Structure 1
């Protein structure tokens, strides 16, 4: 089988998308957790306010997912992306201003969530439209690898940079954001407004498959919340392992998340987004089940790598699958709905799992539930689509 190769033009467009995701969803969402201990220790905000700022980011992401298509229909997609990158960059520098308190932090974390969602929804369609079908899996993989790169980079560097103070750390994030935004601005292809009306008949034969994909992606949102909230806590407090080992697991999670989209993008270009998405969900479910079933450090580390290597690819594969099902013209509309469902189920998982833990104090129970939800939604997706793979679209 002949595999299409990137031209320099194709590669730079994919890198531009990866740079946009590096800013909006990498630095904007995952750059904050390593800063929480630093800003709390400095007394900039209380622990409660720091976590409320994190919650504000989730609410901002939900709002951004809701309004993304509306904005892109009234403005050009390119303008939405560039505005989101500029505002995200400003948000980092604003948090570095001396005397910035809880309300300032919560406001800018909320804004950062909005910009992250805008980029998440409109950028993949732009990149895939400019790519030949045989390149789209790898191109979307590069987009999501930008998030993983930011996760790994901030997880390793911010605790060290933060020794000079939280303001320095925020400024470093702002500079990284500005640099990546310049790359996106230079190489992102032009894109006009999204169509305001549905194209007649577009994707109608795949409505069952699209519903199945939506359910599977919602299940993924539920499942992903568990390791991002409980993984390190389970290892350190639940199993009485060292903080260093817990931090090492999170770094392994982040590094595998940076590499995973590239691997699964290759697979998607060979077998299609639909089958690749099912396989990837299955691997993640195995990683969650393994975490629930063992307390051996080596196996737990392996489980963290499995989960990390599938967490970001599942977003990339679901986005590509949506493009297969409805066509790239309607991709942003369908992807917006999936992203809203993902956000709602991720938030629900946080509350449900916290409630379960308060009653049963069992980490394995929570990880087993996540594995079961993910496996169950895979079966539902297969059933609703009749096991079919959507045709590739030019």
Structure 2
């Protein structure tokens, strides 16, 4: 642990929280409550608005693929600062809808920044945290995602009252402020140990237990995209409840997102990552069933609260699972990078898949939520079909080799 970290142990956590808030919480989730406004203001056609939302998911995949490569050339701290600046510039550029291509490009770049941040932020900070506290610490880092969702739910409607362009400018200003406040918080010493990226052992990525995690994480990504992209539009336009009801539902989603990372991190510390994942999947399945079976706004609000905890909450759970299955920082970082790529790949595919399904069914929201529920069921079945004892035995054998 370096001197600056010892003097102010909260600074790296604050830096990580700001990075996840800017790069994912705002860059991705602030777009959702903007969808009805973008359509109503005729900035783009409704079909284009949906696909532009998926551009961030495609960029996230690119960022997950190149994040460790960037960190091997520059320090993680330098790359993370640069990605936060890039998100701020993307918000600024989106204030002027010059063309679909212009908007798509900047939304894509904001997604790239989010993917890079997701790959690097934990490995830059967690080595400076006691092992028994890493679940809670990772929950605090990724709390930024939840704060971004909740902030978008409250800030975006207020900014929209001043105008759509002003909303993008306000998001840019907030991102720049958070970037500046976290600039000096990144720990530096551990960068020396991150150089041999290419030499990280490969066997952990092909063990059955790790492959199970990759598969489950990919299916969880598939499941979370449908509510993330369409919940507000479903309530506002699909149910005819109006933009105010949509904002309230998204606010509840945001409250769940604030609770999710710390709650799921504590689950990982006290219940175990695998048991925590199983419990969370069951809860998510019940919440998606409510979306499919009820139009009662009170029940939908409760479901939104539970569903909102999922996108930011599963990150510390999956990260804890990686740390349980794989030994050594280099191997853990390499495995986490591949897990993030798996998540990002299916998230991007799901984003465009849901958009295509929405267009093909003429705006049939139930089909989208049914696909999401099916992905959760598959993730649960994968967990039940693979025995923990078998998986861990094979991990031990591969480590011995």
- TM superposition score category, shorter chain reference: 0.7 to 0.9
Cα distance, 1:29 vs. partner?
1.3
Q: Deviations over 1:340-381 (max 9, x none)?
A: 222332343345556666459764454344223213212313
Q: Deviations over 1:284-315 (max 9, x none)?
A: 12211232233333222211111112231012
Counterpart of 2:274? 274
Give the whole-Å Cα distance in 2 for the aligned partners of 1:361 and 1:111.
28
Cα distance, 1:103 vs. partner?
3.3
Give the whole-Å Cα distance in 2 for the aligned partners of 1:387 and 1:11.
38
Give the whole-Å Cα distance in 2 for the aligned partners of 1:160 and 1:286.
32
Report if aligned partners of 2:224, 2:310 keep a CA contact under 8 Å in 1.
no
SS at match of 1:295: coil
Alignment of 1:98-247 (within 5 A): 100-190=98-188, 191-192=190-191, 193-199=194-200, 203=204, 207-247=207-247
Cα distance, 1:65 vs. partner?
1.3
Matched, 1:329 2:327: no
Which has the larger displacement, 240-249 or 273-282?
A: 240-249
Counterpart of 1:314? 314
Change (3 A) 1:202 1:355: closer
Report if aligned partners of 1:274, 1:389 keep a CA contact under 8 Å in 2.
no
Gaps of 5+ in 1: 1-5
Which has the larger displacement, 257-266 or 39-48?
A: 39-48
SS at match of 1:188: coil
Q: Deviations over 1:63-86 (max 9, x none)?
A: 111111222222222221122122
Change (3 A) 1:356 1:75: closer
Which has the larger displacement, 44-53 or 333-342?
A: 44-53
Matched, 1:291 2:277: no
Give the whole-Å Cα distance in 2 for the aligned partners of 1:68 and 1:346.
17
Give the whole-Å Cα distance in 2 for the aligned partners of 1:38 and 1:354.
18
Report if aligned partners of 1:275, 1:389 keep a CA contact under 8 Å in 2.
no
TM-score (norm 2): 0.85
Aligned length: 384
Give the whole-Å Cα distance in 2 for the aligned partners of 1:142 and 1:356.
35
Report if aligned partners of 1:137, 1:266 keep a CA contact under 8 Å in 2.
yes
Report the aligned-residue RMSD. 3.0
Counterpart of 1:92? 91
Counterpart of 2:386? 384
Give the whole-Å Cα distance in 2 for the aligned partners of 1:102 and 1:366.
25
Change (3 A) 1:294 1:32: closer
Report if aligned partners of 1:81, 1:119 keep a CA contact under 8 Å in 2.
yes
Cα distance, 1:23 vs. partner?
0.9
Please point out which of 366, 369, 377 is paired with 1:367.
Answer: 369
Change (3 A) 1:37 1:122: same
Which has the larger displacement, 242-251 or 76-85?
A: 242-251
TM-score (norm 1): 0.86
Report if aligned partners of 2:19, 2:179 keep a CA contact under 8 Å in 1.
yes
Report if aligned partners of 1:77, 1:194 keep a CA contact under 8 Å in 2.
no
Gaps of 5+ in 2: 396-401
